[in-house]
Structure 1
Amino acid sequence: MARHNLSTVVRFEFLRTLKKKSFWATTLIVPIVMGIVLGLVGFSGESTSKSVSAQQNAALSFQYLDESGLISEQLGKDSGGTLATERQGGIDAVRAGSSEAFIYIPADPARSAIEVYGEDRGMFESGIYSAVATKMLGTAVKERIGSQELTAMAAGRFSFSETMFKDGEVSGGFFAMIPPMLFLGLFYLVILFLGNQILNSTVEEKENRVTEMLLTTMNASTLIVGKILAILATGVVQMLTVAAPAVLAFMLLRGTAGIPDISLTALVPEPSAMIIGALLLAGGFILFAAALVAIGSVMPTAKDANGLFGAIVITMFVPLYAVPLIMSAPDSLVVQVFTYFPFSAPVTAMLRNGLGSLGGMEAAIVISELFVLGAVVIAVAVKLFRHGSIQYSSKVPVLAALIRRG
Structure 2
Amino acid sequence: MAQHNLSTVVSFEVARTLGRKRFWLITLFVPVAIAIVIALIVLSNSSAGSSAAAQSDTELSFTYSDASGYIDPAIAGAFGGTAVTDDATAIAAVRTGTTEAHFVFAADPTTTATAVYGADLGLFANSTYGQVATQLLVASSQAKIGDPTLAALAQGNVPVTSTTFVNGEVNPGFGGILPPLIFLVLFFLTFVLLSNQMLTVTLEEKENRVTEMILTTVNPTALIGGKIIALFTVGLVQMFCFALPLLIGYVFFRTALSLPEIDLAGLSVDPWRMVIGALLALGGFALFTGTLVAIGSVMPTAKDAGNLFAGLMILMFVPLYVVSLILSDPHGIVVQIFTYFPYSAPVTAMIRNAVGSLSGGEAAIVIAVLFLLSAVVLRLAVRLFRYGSIQYTSKVSLKTVLSASK
TM-score, with length taken from structure 1: 0.88
Residue 42 of structure 1: how far off its partner (Å): 6.5
Amino acid at match of 1:271: P
Partner of 2:59: 59
Q: Contact (CA 8 Å) 1:163, 1:170: kept in 2 or not?
A: yes
Amino acid at match of 2:146: G
Structure 1, 274-283 or 111-120: larger mean CA deviation: 111-120
Amino acid at match of 1:70: Y
Residue 187 of structure 1: how far off its partner (Å): 1.0
SS in 1 for 2:104: strand
Q: How does 1:107-256 map to 2 (within 5 A)?
A: 107-243=107-243, 246=246, 250=250
Partner of 2:301: 301
Partner of 2:326: 326
Q: How does 1:265-284 map to 2 (within 5 A)?
A: 265-284=265-284
Residue 233 of structure 1: how far off its partner (Å): 3.4
**How many pairs were matched up?**
406
Q: Contact (CA 8 Å) 2:5, 2:219: kept in 1 or not?
A: no
Taking the aligned partners of 1:53 and 1:324, their CA distance within structure 2 comes to 44
In 2 relative to 1, CA 21–337 (structure 1 residues): closer, same or farther, beyond 3 Å? farther
Taking the aligned partners of 1:139 and 1:210, their CA distance within structure 2 comes to 80
Residue 77 of structure 1: how far off its partner (Å): 2.5
Structure 1, 16-25 or 31-40: larger mean CA deviation: 31-40
SS in 2 for 1:309: helix
Partner of 1:290: 290
Structure 1, 43-52 or 53-62: larger mean CA deviation: 43-52
Partner of 2:364: 364
Structure 1, 288-297 or 300-309: larger mean CA deviation: 300-309
In 2 relative to 1, CA 20–353 (structure 1 residues): closer, same or farther, beyond 3 Å? farther
Structure 1, 367-376 or 214-223: larger mean CA deviation: 214-223
Partner of 1:310: 310
Amino acid at match of 2:370: L
In 2 relative to 1, CA 161–187 (structure 1 residues): closer, same or farther, beyond 3 Å? same
Taking the aligned partners of 2:168 and 2:73, their CA distance within structure 1 comes to 59
Amino acid at match of 1:276: I
SS in 2 for 1:125: coil
In 2 relative to 1, CA 23–280 (structure 1 residues): closer, same or farther, beyond 3 Å? farther
CA RMSD of aligned residues (A): 2.9
Partner of 2:337: 337
> Percent identical across equivalent pairs?
51
Q: Contact (CA 8 Å) 2:38, 2:249: kept in 1 or not?
A: no
Taking the aligned partners of 2:332 and 2:217, their CA distance within structure 1 comes to 52
Q: Contact (CA 8 Å) 2:61, 2:101: kept in 1 or not?
A: yes
Partner of 2:5: 5
In 2 relative to 1, CA 330–48 (structure 1 residues): closer, same or farther, beyond 3 Å? farther
Q: Contact (CA 8 Å) 1:14, 1:230: kept in 2 or not?
A: yes
Taking the aligned partners of 1:6 and 1:152, their CA distance within structure 2 comes to 70
Q: Contact (CA 8 Å) 1:42, 1:258: kept in 2 or not?
A: no
Residue 374 of structure 1: how far off its partner (Å): 0.8
Taking the aligned partners of 1:41 and 1:340, their CA distance within structure 2 comes to 44
Taking the aligned partners of 1:253 and 1:330, their CA distance within structure 2 comes to 40
1:68-124 CA distance string (max 9 Å, x none): 222122222332222221445544544455543221112222333222122333312
Note the residue ranges of structure 1 that are not aligned, 5 or more in a row: none
Structure 1, 40-49 or 99-108: larger mean CA deviation: 40-49
Q: Contact (CA 8 Å) 1:101, 1:119: kept in 2 or not?
A: yes
In 2 relative to 1, CA 333–45 (structure 1 residues): closer, same or farther, beyond 3 Å? farther
Partner of 1:82: 82
Q: Contact (CA 8 Å) 2:45, 2:256: kept in 1 or not?
A: no
SS in 1 for 2:216: helix
Amino acid at match of 1:378: L
Partner of 2:401: 401
Partner of 1:15: 15
